[in-house]
Amino acid sequence: MNFCFDCGQENNIKRASIKMLLNDFFSTYFTVNSKLLLTLELLLTKPSFLSIAYLNGEIEGYLRPIRLYVFISFVFFLLSTNVTSYKSTIERINLALNEIPVTIGDLDDGFNESEKVPKINENAIDRKIEKIFSTERETTIFFNYMLAKFPIVLFVMIPVLGFLFYLFFYSKTYYYIDHLIFSLHLQCFLLALLIILTTIDWLLKIDLSMAAFLGLLVYGYIGALKFYKKTKLMTFLKLSLIGVFHSGLIVVVCILFFLLVMQTYSV
């Protein structure tokens, strides 16, 4: 009779204390945090390990794919926005020092909520594009606006990439969801790598964009070898074809994304 039959709570009534509050906080926080750190370590050092473990039912020891993606994407775009805002602020100050007028509206991302969005036609888009790229200041403001909405594009491309893996690595032993999980972890790795490289660029002023691209290629190749268990040559050829199709689709999606952003952006 030491525990309640309904909820399992111990039948020992204690007055709340600072010690009890701290125990609740640290037990909850560091349990989740340790799981996060372990998941990130495995994500960065063992390609496809998390995907295989998840599909084998090992889901309690690590963060689940969707939660991992949401966390990493949130950190990445938070970091990117802050870094970009910092750089654009410095650029605007430099422009102001060079006697180029900067208004309060410009510093507020150049967007006036009270203005009605005009009807978009081809001539209006042309005028917008001309206005956006007329000065460095306007271009910076516009790309900050686009960056805030870009997570939608990355999220949409994950099921597309999963479908390409499904087509090129088709097997009766794999369902579409299996390829989707692998694609999700691949996207998580890319964002985690970009977080690291963006931090290095911010602190040390070293541009490692090419390193991110090469790192993704190597990581994806090793991960696909372990996940699909094909020969090295077959894996390389199929990944090359996936890369070509995926790059083409990204271009199309980015163009559509640009046109949609132009409809909501006000200059």
Report the chain (267 residues): mean pLDDT per 10 consecutive residues.
60 61 57 77 94 89 89 84 54 45 44 44 72 79 77 87 94 92 94 88 82 90 95 96 93 88 77
Output the furthest CA–CA distance in the chain (Å, rounded): 80
Cα 47 to the chain's mean position, in Å? 18
Burial pattern 143-153, b for ≥16 Cβ within 10 A else e, equals ebbeeeeeeee
Write out the residue range of the structural domain in which residue 220 sits: 64-264
Predicted confidence at residue 87, as pLDDT, reads 52
Q: Is residue 2 part of a domain?
A: no
- State if pTM tops 0.85: no
Q: Is residue 19 part of a domain?
A: no
Domain count, the chain: 1
Predicted confidence at residue 106, as pLDDT, reads 47
Cα separation, 39 vs 41, whole angstroms? 5
Cα separation, 231 vs 239, whole angstroms? 12
Predicted confidence at residue 54, as pLDDT, reads 92
Predicted confidence at residue 170, as pLDDT, reads 92
Q: Is residue 122 part of a domain?
A: yes
Q: Is residue 25 part of a domain?
A: no
Q: Is residue 208 part of a domain?
A: yes
